[in-house]
Chain A
Amino acid sequence: MFLKELRDYRYLLREIVAKNIKIQYRNSVLGVFWTLLQPLLTTLVLVFIFGKLFKPDPSVINYPIYVLCGRLLYEFYSQSTKRAMRSVTGSASVLKKVRVPKYIYPLSNIISNFITFLISLVVLVGFIVYFSLLKSPSNPPPSLTWYALLSPVPLLVLFLLSTGVGLILSTLAVFFKDVEYLYDVFCLLLFYSTPVFYTLKRLNGDGIMLLCLKANPLYHIVEMFRDCVLRGQLFSYISLLYALGFSLVLLLLGGLLFWKKQDRFILYI
């Protein structure tokens, strides 16, 4: 039933995905280049502050690429879930008038963000090429191996995770307006507790604190991605199992919650 509905409304899904991407860049002079420029600039800021002013972990092969990987993945997660969260309440005018499958709205926002995220990976390629040609002793080129071909795996897990969280948030946001503010704060916490610009090794926290940080599925996803494109090694399958399991549970929970509550959305939006 779900699949039939998805097939019937695949045009709508495609239209909304295209719309989200187009609208995002419509009124900016640089257009789609912002997708590349934004991660580039924010990474430069992070690299400048945490690479120059603080001493980064010397075991990191290439600090700028290390930061960029973390930033790109974190930014996709936070942007897509935030957009998904607002998608149902934001489409109130349509949902009140026309019968459409409601999950189209959170889903299309995750997908459109995923596409812009994939485009922004060009910056990562640029970084890798740049440092490979530069061969500077302070930032040696990343060790590229065949394991780089596994990099879509963590990205796919990240997509599942974002979809699950997006479904949960979009449902909650219908009933409770303040979820949006709470989630902003949560994302800030998540940014600092995910090793984007630091490494877990350098933290002098106790065991419990470390365990808490490692419970974060985003940590495992980011590390898996860095294994692929930076360290040139196979990621640990424990990380994969944990992150994938976590994502699937959230996706299932989100799907169930959304499915159970969607008939009541109309009374609240």
Chain B
Amino acid sequence: MTEPAIRVENVSMMFHMHSEKIDNLKEYVIRVLRHKVKYTEFWALQDISFEVARGERLGVLGFNGAGKSTLLKVIAGVMKPTTGVVEISGVVAPLLELGAGFDMNYSGRENIFLYGATMGFSRAYIKERYEEIIAFSELKDFIDAPVKNYSSGMRARLGFSIATAVEPEVLIVDEVLSVGDAKFRAKSEKKIQSMFDRGVTVLFVSHNTPQVRKLCNRAILLDHGKIIAQGAADEVCNLYDTMVKK
């Protein structure tokens, strides 16, 4: 058996919950002098372990506050877990909130290269895929306009086109399949489907069980920072749906 694409081992994430957020020096000095820097611990993730094999598509389900977003951020490498390790092999394309790396004053064309570089790709590499990105985003006429003048749908389309054009091996998707209008949505779903066929590993976070059933072959269910169920996507989705009804 080959090594898994994603391996999460005993990951826990603890936050300090300050009763009042101290974000300036004056407050901080006053608090320290009075010995009043108080906080309570909050474990957003507790001892999470799982593996995702290459080409597997894992759905992550859970209610608000269950720790889905935190888990995704830990896996994407944005947050460092308090304890435990995350190992990923291959190029990761985070689709968390598309267009996060855009500079509003920059044109669409310039942003393509900036966004690519943010994901660690060279100018030459992006240049090869440049035409494809523009064609897929359907933004040819607007590509030299600054992104601040784009609509949110246009921005998301551009972000989606870049993130999927670089042929990532691991795709982290946070409910972005609702990008743009119905036409673009159908197109992006097709694109994602073709990436599935190519054997990309997917981590898909959603509340939408029909979508998870359609896209994923396995799922885990998070509740209060713990995995309470994992297995075939259909079974976990059924469990989630019954929990929703309760």
Contact = CB atoms under 8 A, between A and B. Distances in A.
B23 A100 contact: no
Interface band, chain B: 20 to 34
Contact of B100 (A8, A93, A267): A93
Interface in B99-113: 100-101, 103, 105-106, 110, 113
Interface residues of A, number: 29
Contact of A263 (B15, B80, B114, B123): B80
A189 to B, nearest CB: 17
B193 interface: no
Do most interface residues of chain A lie in helix, strand or loop, or is the interface mixed? Answer: helix
A96 B100 contact: yes
Nearest to B111: A19
A217 B123 CA distance: 39
Q: Which of A14, A93, A95, A98 has the most CB of B within 10 A?
A: A98
Q: Which of B76, B97, B117, B122 has the most CB of A within 10 A?
A: B117
Given A176-B25, A179-B25, A99 B78 contact: yes
B121 A266 contact: no
A44 B234 CA distance: 75
Contacts, number: 80
Contacts of B119: 98
Contact of A97 (B15, B26, B76, B117): B76
A175 B122 CA distance: 33
B186 interface: no
Contacts of B26: 178
Contacts of A263: 79-80
Given A23-B106, A97-B76, A177-B24, A11 B120 contact: yes
Contacts of B110: 19, 22
9 contacts: A15-B114, A16-B117, A19-B106, A94-B101, A97-B96, A97-B101, A98-B100, A179-B25, A182-B25
